[in-house]
A and B are shown apart, each in its own frame.
Chain A
Amino acid sequence: DSGVTQTPKHLITATGQRVTLRCSPRSGDLSVYWYQQSLDQGLQFLIQYYNGEERAKGNILERFSAQQFPDLHSELNLSSLELGDSALYFCASQPGGRSYNEQFFGPGTRLTVL
C-alpha cells in the first residue's frame, strides 16, 4: 500500500459527460502528479500540482483540468468525454517539488466511456 488513495476505483459513463477523479496524497506530501495509462499511449504525464499551485503540464487536453485543494487532495476533471478517453488514471504523490524525490502511485481509477 503506497498510502495514496484514489476514488472511485471504476467509473463508467457516456460520451459527452463530465467526471471528477479524486486523489489523496500520502500524509505530508505536497506534490501530486496525474498520469494517464492507455494501451496505445502507455503511461503519460498529464499535470503536476505543488502545494496548491500548478507546477507543470504535459499533453493534457483542454477538456481536462485539475486542481489541488488546501488539504492537498487533488481532483482531475474530464469533460466532453470521448471514447478515446477510456483509460486508467493514476495520481502519484511526492514529498516535495524536487525531481529526484520518489513518486508513489495510487491504485488508479479505471474510466470507461461508452
Chain B
Amino acid sequence: GENVEQHPSTLSVQEGDSAVIKCTYSDSASNYFPWYKQELGKGPQLIIDIRSNVGEKKDQRIAVTLNKTAKHFSLHITETQPEDSAVYFCAASTNTGKLIFGQGTTLQVKP
C-alpha cells in the first residue's frame, strides 16, 4: 500500500550548520510532495512543496529535491537557527489529494 518512510527520526545540529531530512515513497503515482513544520501545540505548517515535474525548488534557506526514479525526496535547511527547532513531516500525494505522511523528524538546533 501507500507508504512514506522518513529519516532520521531525530536530528541535532549546531546553529549555522545544515540539516537534511530524507523521505522515500512507495506509490509511483505520487505527484505532489509537501513538507510541513509542526511546533509544539500547533498544527502542521506548510513550508515548501514540490511537484513531480520539478527536480528542485528553493525558498531562502530551505530547499527540496526530488528523485522520481529512486522515489526519494529530501529537505535541506541551511544556516539553521534555533527557531528552526520543530518536528518536520514529509508527505506524498497522488491525484486522490489525500496526504500520506512520514513519521516525522524532530530537529533540534543548538545555539
Q: Are A43 and B89 in contact (CB under 8 A)?
A: yes
Q: Does B60 contact A (CB under 8 A)?
A: no
B45 touches A31 (CB 8 A): no
Asked if A108 is at the interface (CB within 8 A of a chain B CB), the reply is yes
Residues in A32-61 with C-beta less than 8 Å from chain B: 33, 35, 42-45, 48, 55-56, 58
- Name B's A-contacting residues (CB within 8 A): 31-32, 34, 36, 42-46, 49, 51, 89, 91, 93-104
A-to-B contact residues, CB < 8 Å: 2, 4, 31, 33, 35, 42-45, 48, 55-56, 58, 90, 92, 94, 97-100, 102-108
Instruction: List, in ascending order, chain B residues with CB within 8 A of A94's CB.
Output: 97
Most chain A beta-carbon neighbours within 10 Å: one of B49, B96, B98: B98
Which residues on the A side are within 8 Å of B96 (C-beta)? Answer: 56, 99
Q: Which of A31, A42, A106 contacts B104 (CB 8 A)?
A: A42
Which chain B positions have C-beta within 8 A of A92?
99
With beta carbons under 8 angstroms apart, the residue of B36, B95, B103 that contacts A99 is: B95
**Residue in A35, A48, A99 whose Cβ sees the most chain B Cβ within 10 Å:** A99
